[in-house]
């Protein structure tokens, strides 16, 4: 049953959400940067203009001591008056001075207002403390003031000195001018609103587009999943069609198809194996049943009963051989049968086995010879190596007619150890060679063979496993009528000796 799929856990959702988040952060970042840049530009522009205007105003303004009209008290404070020096007949100059004085304040050193424009008055007269501090520092003073309606103004204030009087002292005066900042604020605000509208809109568009695009990109994955669902144990011949684009998905599909191919061949092997096992077990069982039935209905003497029981026992022995061999093979292939390696002299092991086969070879009139080095140290499982040699030798004896030859050779090379069993027997047709290591596989018709007794078809499966378990390989060179040569290549031992020989495992015939 297909697992329930959560939308928020899906690749499509996560990809879209991830990109949307990244996109949002990027947009907000860029918008903030642009807004700050704009604010800075507007601000510095206003400062520059106001600074220039302040100096222009200073150029037109002249403050001097006014003559005291009438009788003034003896220690009366000096009276100052200011003069705007510009060409009164020039309308342009008059306009400039008028414009500069639109937002304008002039006070003496104590903060007494000498002249103030209406707009500046609305902003509020600077407190005397602030004026005195500005005059003391002599530095330009910048501030932002707001009207009661909240309209912002940038103010630039500074010191202007009166023309030197009789005592030769330059008296300081406080002059401040302003500039409306409402326009800049409006520009900034409208920019913010544009971003506030544009960012969610582009995010929404991005999400929709991302959702559609990821859906489109992931469509083949859904198709692959659908195709994979159609493949089951009974129709493993199906394959997921590749799109011939050569992308990651095609690679995944190819890998998947290769996996199904391997699965199919494993399924096939298992099916074949079940058929073979049932067939192998059925033959002796049918034979036993037949013999016992015949004995039951037709046997009259003890001798006849005895023959039937003996024949049945032989078949039972064959049955138990098959079962034992199968059990051992499955243990070997599932890794439950560990090798018991020890340092041994392979030359003497091979010599012993060849000697064991000498008497049967003489009986079959087959010439058995061996070419062995004086000694060949190896780290191997003695029992398994003996089993491998016995299986190869008994096959060669079985499939070599009288008058033929069987030759065993052992080559102890620096890197590898080669065991070769060659015969001049009936040989194996080329098309059967790849299958002879499969369980229960027997070459169907070996016409040139002297009708050898049927084996279990399990011997070479053992040989293949033993070679592989020792890290070696096996090679077959055979042709019908010419004979066969089985060469097992095993890795030579490393310098350090292997652990001491352990308990042998029970021997099973192939
Ligand atoms: P079996 O018990 O039948 O010998 P094996 O697994 O040992 O089973 O061998 C599988 C088949 O390979 C044999 O049945 C036989 O057809 C073929 N075969 C193995 N060794 C030889 C050989 N030396 N010469 C010819 N055929 C061989």
- pLDDT confidence band for 25 (50 / 70 / 90): very high
Whether the CB of 397 sits within 6 Å of ligand 1: no
Residue with tokens 């990821």: 214
Distance separating alpha carbons of residues 345 and 351, to the nearest angstrom: 10
Give the model confidence (pLDDT) of 116-153 as tens digits. 999 999 999 999 999 999 999 989 999 999 988 888 99
Using CA atoms, how far residue 478 sits from 319, 365, 407, in Å, is 31, 22, 14
Whether the CB of 457 sits within 6 Å of ligand 1: yes
- pLDDT confidence band for 451 (50 / 70 / 90): low
Length of the chain: 510
Q: What is the CA radius of gyration of the chain?
A: 54
Give the three-class secondary structure for 473.
Answer: strand
pLDDT at 334 over 70: yes
Residues sharing a CB contact under 8 Å with residue 224, sequence separation 6 or more, in sequence order: 240, 249, 252, 253, 256
Give the model confidence (pLDDT) of 399-425 as tens digits. 999 999 999 999 999 999 999 999 999
- pLDDT confidence band for 508 (50 / 70 / 90): very low
Mutate to test the pocket of ligand 1, among 364, 395, 466 (most ligand atoms within 8 A of CB): 395
- pLDDT confidence band for 510 (50 / 70 / 90): very low
pLDDT at 73 over 70: no
Distance separating alpha carbons of residues 113 and 309, to the nearest angstrom: 141
Whether the CB of 383 sits within 6 Å of ligand 1: no
CA–centroid distance, residue 385 to ligand 1 (Å): 18
Q: Among 201, 179, 199, 190, which Cα is nearest to 39's?
A: 190
Whether the CB of 417 sits within 6 Å of ligand 1: no
- Lowest mean pLDDT segment, chosen from 163-172, 300-309, 444-453: 444-453
Q: What is the DSSP string of 420-467?
A: EEEE-S----GGGGGGTTSTT---S--TTS--PPP--S-HHHHHHHHH
Section 5-12 average pLDDT: 75
Q: For residues 97 and 60, is the Cβ–Cβ distance under 8 A?
A: yes
Whether the CB of 428 sits within 6 Å of ligand 1: yes
Whether the CB of 404 sits within 6 Å of ligand 1: no
Distance separating alpha carbons of residues 101 and 217, to the nearest angstrom: 68
Q: Among 394, 421, 417, which Cα is nearest to 346's?
A: 417
pTM of the model: 0.53
Paired tokens of 288 = 């036993």
Whether the CB of 423 sits within 6 Å of ligand 1: yes
CA–centroid distance, residue 351 to ligand 1 (Å): 23
Q: In whole numbers, what is the pLDDT of the chain averaged over residues?
A: 86
CA–centroid distance, residue 357 to ligand 1 (Å): 17
Q: For residues 129 and 138, is the Cβ–Cβ distance under 8 A?
A: no
Nearest ligand 1 atom, CA 442: 14
Give the model confidence (pLDDT) of 472-481 as tens digits. 999 999 998 8
């Amino acid at each position: 049953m297909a697992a329930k799929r959560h939308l928020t856990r899906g690749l499509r959702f996560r990809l879209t959400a991830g990109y949307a988040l990244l996109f949002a952060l990027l947009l907000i970042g860029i918008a903030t940067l642009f807004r700050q840049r704009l604010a800075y530009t507007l601000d510095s522009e206003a400062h520059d203009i106001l600074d220039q205007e302040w100096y222009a105003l200073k150029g037109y303004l002249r403050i001097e001591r006014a003559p005291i009209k009438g009788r003034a008290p003896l220690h009366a404070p000096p009276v100052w008056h200011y003069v705007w020096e510009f060409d009164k007949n020039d309308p342009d100059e008059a306009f400039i001075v008028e414009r500069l004085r639109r937002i304008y304040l002039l006070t003496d050193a104590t903060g007494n207002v000498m002249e103030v424009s209406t707009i500046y008055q609305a902003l509020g007269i600077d407190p005397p403390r602030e004026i005195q501090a500005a005059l003391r520092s002599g530095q330009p003073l910048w501030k932002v003031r707001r009207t009661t309606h909240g309209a912002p103004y940038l103010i630039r204030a500074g010191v202007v000195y009166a023309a030197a009087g009789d005592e030769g002292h330059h008296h300081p005066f406080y002059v401040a001018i302003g500039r409306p900042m409402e326009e800049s604020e409006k520009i900034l605000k409208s920019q913010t609103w544009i971003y506030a509208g544009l960012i969610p809109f582009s995010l929404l568009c991005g999400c929709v587009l991302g959702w559609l695009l990821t859906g489109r990109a992931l469509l083949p994955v859904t198709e692959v999943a659908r195709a994979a669902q159609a493949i089951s144990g009974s129709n493993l011949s199906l394959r997921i069609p590749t799109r011939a684009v050569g992308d990651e998905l095609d690679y995944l599909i190819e890998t998947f198809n290769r996996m199904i191919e391997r699965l199919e061949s494993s399924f096939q092997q298992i099916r074949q194996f079940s058929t073979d096992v049932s067939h192998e077990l059925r033959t002796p069982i049918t034979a036993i049943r037949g013999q016992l039935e015949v004995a039951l209905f037709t046997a009259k003497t003890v001798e006849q009963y005895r023959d039937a029981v003996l024949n049945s026992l032989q078949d039972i022995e064959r049955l138990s051989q098959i079962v034992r061999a199968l059990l051992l093979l499955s243990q070997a292939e599932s890794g439950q049968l560990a090798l018991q390696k020890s340092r041994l002299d392979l030359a003497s092991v091979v010599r012993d086995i060849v000697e064991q086969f000498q008497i049967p070879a003489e009986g079959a009139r087959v010439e058995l010879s061996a070419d062995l080095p004086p000694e060949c140290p190896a780290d191997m499982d003695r029992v398994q190596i003996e089993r491998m040699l016995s299986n190869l030798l008994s096959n060669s004896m079985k499939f070599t007619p009288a008058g033929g030859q069987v030759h065993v050779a052992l080559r102890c090379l620096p890197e590898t150890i080669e065991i070769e069993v060659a015969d001049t027997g009936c040989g194996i047709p080329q098309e059967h060679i790849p299958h002879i290591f499969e369980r229960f596989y027997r070459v169907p018709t070996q016409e040139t063979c002297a009708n050898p007794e049927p084996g279990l078809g399990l011997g070479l499966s053992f040989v293949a496993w033993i070679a592989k378990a020792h890290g070696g390989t096996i090679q077959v060179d055979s042709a019908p009528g010419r004979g066969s040569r089985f060469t097992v290549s095993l890795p030579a031992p490393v310098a350090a000796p292997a652990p001491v020989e352990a308990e042998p495992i029970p021997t099973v015939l192939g």
